[in-house]
A and B are shown apart, each in its own frame.
Chain A
Amino acid sequence: MYSEKVMDHFMNPRNVGEIENADAIGEVGNAKCGDIMKIYLKIENDVIIDAKFKTFGCGAAVATSSMATELVVGKTIEEALKITNKAVAEALDGLPPVKMHCSNLAEEAIKAAIEDYLVKTGRLEKNCDGEVCGRRCDDIHHHMDIED
């Protein structure tokens, strides 16, 4: 059901880990929904120079996390904010329809990290508390109508 590229990024995920003294951290999802992605960014002059991630989730969640870290490196924060869930999925040669929500996780995580960066650099008001920042299950998961 997964493309070869998804399986490759799942079995050999790029950029797993943490960045010490990261300039930005974004964490989205929650354990109850079955997936959490945490992304760490190193940013210089508004350009993302390194990215690492940790993910709890299914194969698609791991693969999209891996792909998202590859996509953001070298981009300005403005460019990175434009990365859509669709772009992440397309870069992986597509995801099965029931797994599309996993690509939302990646988009959300990038946005959360950049938000964190903007707050840290004093360019944005912190508008919520805690790491997860008030995101709920259904912000990430689009409801699916699947009969098992």
Chain B
Amino acid sequence: MENKMIYFDHAATTPVKPEVVEEMMPYYTNKFGNASSIYSIGRESKKAIEEARERVAKALGAMTREIFFTGSGSEADNWAIKGVAYSNKDRGNHIITTAIEHHAVLHTCQYLESDGFEVTYLPVDENGLVSVEQVRKAIKPNTILITIMFANNEIGTIQPIAEIGKIAKENNIYFHTDAVQAIGSIPVNVNELNVDLLSLSAHKFYGPKGVGALYIRKGVKITTFLHGGAQERGRRASTENVPGIVGLGKAIELATENLEQYNKKLIDLRDRTIEEITKKVPFIKLNGDRYKRLPGNVNFSFEFIEGESLLLMLDMKGIAASSGSACTSGSLDPSHVLLAIGLSHEIAHGSLRISFGDENTHEDVDYLMEVLPLIVERLREMSPLYEKVKRGN
């Protein structure tokens, strides 16, 4: 077994940058004050939170009072969707979303369905794109919310958020986007996009886990998610996770500063990997749009083999990646995203997601291209499905 580890799973989570850790540390130790306290270390915590809020607002082109810190991206999604639904139920009970949302959105919508709301799950095309026209057609007099993810976590497809935002605005419907995968990877400006609510999560852009934020445009009617103290202007009770919030602020600032360069680097690694896999490995399918996709996302299905086996073998070679196979999700069905883009179960079971990040280099891709084709071939030699294909030839 090799001892180096090559991490290709940045869509799952990212390492915290040393500069980020450095800014967070004092708030665990000597600056541990509760931000609601009036003495100096309390006030310092309060100040640190407000500075972080400014950094987030600046990154999104928002006002500071429109940023609310949460305990995660999932919490931000839950709050946005349930909060708008319950606060606006006198206006209507219909929500529009897509079939490929993260479970934090999908399961929240399903929960609301059990509580009297009506949800339209828009289909996507074979590349994972929703059609703007379909969004328009799905709008009904009782539609109160459109929630569509910015970029998909599995296949990387980037949705036409600005166009959807325009339609939502024209129809006076709130528009939420789960931008957890987008922030730190592609430029996002809430005003240019006409987004009313936006979720983000620090651990996807080299910040700490367990802290996120929800952008809520001024004037949006939304219920309080956590009842209790007066934190986050009474909208989200809990003693603030000061180190986490500070880390989120620093991480989003670094991400926005370096965005162009970071983007270029990832697109380079991504495109090279897509090209080489396509050239070297037969019986494959690229999942997601070839161009409208996250800079660091590569997702292929390898016919005749199963994703977990592929991941285990890659792991033995020191490569960390992920898959949408049933065996890795702990259920009997492969990923809902892969099924929604029209893959058969067979092909969906054999998917591999590689998501590049900061530490990755071309040497990492060299190594991947050395081991991946051999592993795929080895698993295929073991597969009764491949045997049939070979016999058929």
User: Could you tell me if B384 and A148 are in contact, using CB atoms closer than 8 angstroms?
Assistant: no
Asked if A117 CB lies within 8 Å of chain B CBs, one says no
User: Could you tell me if A146 and B309 are in contact, using CB atoms closer than 8 angstroms?
Assistant: no
User: Could you tell me if A54 and B325 are in contact, using CB atoms closer than 8 angstroms?
Assistant: no
Name the segment of A8-16, A67-75, A76-84, A85-93 touching the other chain.
Answer: A8-16
Asked if A110 CB lies within 8 Å of chain B CBs, one says no
User: Could you tell me if A58 and B384 are in contact, using CB atoms closer than 8 angstroms?
Assistant: no
Minimum C-beta distance from B328 to chain A (A): 8
Asked if B38 CB lies within 8 Å of chain A CBs, one says no
Instruction: Label chain B's interface by main secondary structure.
Output: helix
User: Could you tell me if A36 and B316 are in contact, using CB atoms closer than 8 angstroms?
Assistant: no
Name the segment of B27-35, B229-237, B242-250, B329-337 touching the other chain.
Answer: B329-337
Chain B residues with CB under 8 Å of A13's CB are 382
The A-contacting residues of B in range 130-145, CB under 8 angstroms, are none
A interface footprint on B307-339 (CB within 8 Å = 1, 0 otherwise): 111001100100000000111011110100000
Chain A residues with CB under 8 Å of B382's CB are 13, 16, 54-56, 62
Nearest CB to that of A13 among chain B residues? B382
Q: What band does the interface of chain B fall in when counting residues whose beta carbon is under 8 Å from A? A: 20 to 34
Asked if A42 CB lies within 8 Å of chain B CBs, one says no
Chain A residues with CB under 8 Å of B377's CB are none
Find B332's partner among A16, A33, A60 (CB 8 Å cutoff).
A33
User: Could you tell me if A144 and B330 are in contact, using CB atoms closer than 8 angstroms?
Assistant: yes
User: Could you tell me if A31 and B349 are in contact, using CB atoms closer than 8 angstroms?
Assistant: yes
Asked if A116 CB lies within 8 Å of chain B CBs, one says no
Asked if B381 CB lies within 8 Å of chain A CBs, one says yes
Find B312's partner among A36, A55, A59 (CB 8 Å cutoff).
A59
Chain B residues with CB under 8 Å of A57's CB are 306, 309, 327
User: Could you tell me if A56 and B385 are in contact, using CB atoms closer than 8 angstroms?
Assistant: yes
Asked if A111 CB lies within 8 Å of chain B CBs, one says no
Distance, CA A56 to CA B327, complexed state (A): 12
Find A27's partner among B305, B312, B383, B384 (CB 8 Å cutoff).
B384
Asked if B345 CB lies within 8 Å of chain A CBs, one says yes
Find B316's partner among A11, A27, A31, A99 (CB 8 Å cutoff).
A11
The A-contacting residues of B in range 273-318, CB under 8 angstroms, are 304-309, 312-313, 316
Distance, CA A11 to CA B311, complexed state (A): 12
Asked if B387 CB lies within 8 Å of chain A CBs, one says yes
Distance, CA A38 to CA B382, complexed state (A): 10
Chain A residues with CB under 8 Å of B309's CB are 10, 57-59, 61-62
Asked if A50 CB lies within 8 Å of chain B CBs, one says no
Minimum C-beta distance from B378 to chain A (A): 10
Which of A35, A57, A98, A143 has the most CB atoms of chain B within a 10 A radius of its CB?
Answer: A57
The A-contacting residues of B in range 352-393, CB under 8 angstroms, are 381-385, 387
B interface footprint on A1-33 (CB within 8 Å = 1, 0 otherwise): 000000100110100101000000001000111
Chain A residues with CB under 8 Å of B91's CB are none
Asked if B103 CB lies within 8 Å of chain A CBs, one says yes
Measured CB to CB, the residues of B under 8 A from A are 103, 304-309, 312-313, 316, 325-327, 329-332, 334, 344-346, 349, 381-385, 387
